[in-house]
Structure 1
Amino acid sequence: MTRETLTGPTPPGDARERLLDAAEALIYAGGIHATGVDAIVRQSGTARKSFYTHFESKDALVAAALERRDERWMNWFIAGTQRRGKTARKRLLGMFDVLREWFASADFHGCAFLNAAGEIASADDPIRIVARKHKARLLDFVRTECEAFAAESDLGARGARHVARLARQWLVLLDGAIAVALVSGEADAALDAQMMAKTLLDAAVKSVAKSAAKPARVSTTTGETRRPPSRRTAT
């Protein structure tokens, strides 16, 4: 995924957007702490005064850049997922094909939000908050597709109870694939995660089917105390 494939170029006169462009590119490639304000200003082609006009601090600039990336990344990921098929199962599994294309791109440096969260210690820092919101948005989208999968697979009420857990497990697979691809440099990490994802979907269907096949348990409680049958021979 590259910015250029998703949005048009920033207008030359828009200093704020150029600062955001530069901050996102440099921080995504090299990290927050390794990127100074001077480097951002220099790459943006703006004056240092412009930085202080639009942002109160470097952290504020980073948080704003991540917020913008969140919107763009989610739009890209949702659109790519929806192109993968007309059924929820195909879309869910297709998420990993979308990721693989990203992993294979020259500008892949992992998840910008996980990277940023790893550099910031405080959970209340605005940068960590943006990262957390991004993962919450991704989880919401995954849960929507999991709900559609439960409906199309006729899993009923039992299936609905598994949706939240399945969505959380799916997010772990997505983020896990991103982390492995970053460290290993192997785009096929997405396909390994996809194989595990297929197992999850099949297990969900089998689990619900097995539960539905069990006979209902009939309570024998009547409020009376039952004595065990006598073993004595009647006389």
Structure 2
Amino acid sequence: MIKKTTDTRDKILKTAEELIYQNGIHAMGMDLLVKTSGVARKSIYRHFANKEDVASAALTERDERWMQWFRTESDKGKTPQERILNMFTVLKSWFESDGFRGCAFINTAGEVGDPEDPVRQIAKMHKQKLLDYALELAEQLNVEHPDDLARQLLILLEGAITMSYVMGDGSAADNAQDIAKLMLERASSRP
């Protein structure tokens, strides 16, 4: 019985995540979630109090899965510098994947006005994890100001995502990687 409950919850979250990523939170109504998932409304409400709870849980799971994927792929580089540059290679592969619609966290945060809304808080947490990862790599380089480098890298990552999605710029990740190379050269050449 526990497995069936878990399967139902997973199905709801998987469907909600797909709907949110394709159409946004506001477009993911409970009727569409019921229709698309094949899960009865009553079953959905057994697991979640409301649509906002479903969206928050789906985005939290996406954050965990996306960060694990991103770190695993980026960490295939041997040195901290290679891992930093590899972040942009990983982004490029994501940009070229079927169904790429930009960053789910930027997209959903843009739908919510209140900075204290759970969706905005999840987006902020996601970006903080990305910043923490960049800082971890920057600290391994033994540069003078790793926190500055990490923040600059985050801006490059976010800018590449935005340019790729909004502008349809297929070279955004490559361009950001070129800038990152210059930044790394400059950071490593400082006395």
Under a length normalisation based on structure 1, what TM-score does the superposition of the two structures give?
0.77
Q: How does 1:188-203 map to 2 (within 5 A)?
A: 188-203=171-186
Q: Give 1:102's aligned residue.
A: 94
Q: How does 1:56-205 map to 2 (within 5 A)?
A: 56-83=49-76, 85-150=77-142, 155=143, 159=144, 162-205=145-188
User: What's the secondary structure of 1:202's corresponding residue?
Assistant: helix
| One-letter amino acid of the counterpart of residue 40, structure 2 | A
Q: Give 1:48's aligned residue.
A: 41
Q: Give 1:219's aligned residue.
A: none
> CA shift at 1:205, angstroms?
2.1
1:89-108 deviation per Cα after TM superposition (whole angstroms, max 9, x unaligned) = 11101100000000001121
1:23-42 deviation per Cα after TM superposition (whole angstroms, max 9, x unaligned) = 10011011111221111111
Q: How many pairs does the alignment contain?
A: 189
User: What's the secondary structure of 2:128's corresponding residue?
Assistant: helix
1:156-203 deviation per Cα after TM superposition (whole angstroms, max 9, x unaligned) = xxx1xx110110010000011000000122332100111111111112
Question: Percent identical across equivalent pairs?
Answer: 47
User: What's the secondary structure of 2:141's corresponding residue?
Assistant: helix
> CA shift at 1:122, angstroms?
0.5
- Distance change (3 Å), C-alpha of 1:25 and 1:11: farther
| One-letter amino acid of the counterpart of residue 101, structure 2 | H
- Distance change (3 Å), C-alpha of 1:171 and 1:13: closer
> CA shift at 1:12, angstroms?
9.6
Q: How does 1:197-216 map to 2 (within 5 A)?
A: 197-206=180-189, 208-209=190-191
Under a length normalisation based on structure 2, what TM-score does the superposition of the two structures give?
0.94
**Structure 1 position 15 matched with structure 2 position 45:** no
Q: Unaligned stretches of 5+ in structure 2?
A: none
Question: Aligned partners of 1:80 and 1:200: how far apart in 2?
Answer: 22
> CA shift at 1:13, angstroms?
7.2
Question: Aligned partners of 2:66 and 2:80: how far apart in 1?
Answer: 20
Question: Aligned partners of 1:115 and 1:38: how far apart in 2?
Answer: 22
Moved over 3 A (4+): 10-13
Question: Aligned partners of 2:83 and 2:105: how far apart in 1?
Answer: 23
Q: Give 1:35's aligned residue.
A: 28
Question: Aligned partners of 1:13 and 1:86: how far apart in 2?
Answer: 38
> CA shift at 1:17, angstroms?
1.0
Further displaced range: 29-38 or 87-96: 29-38
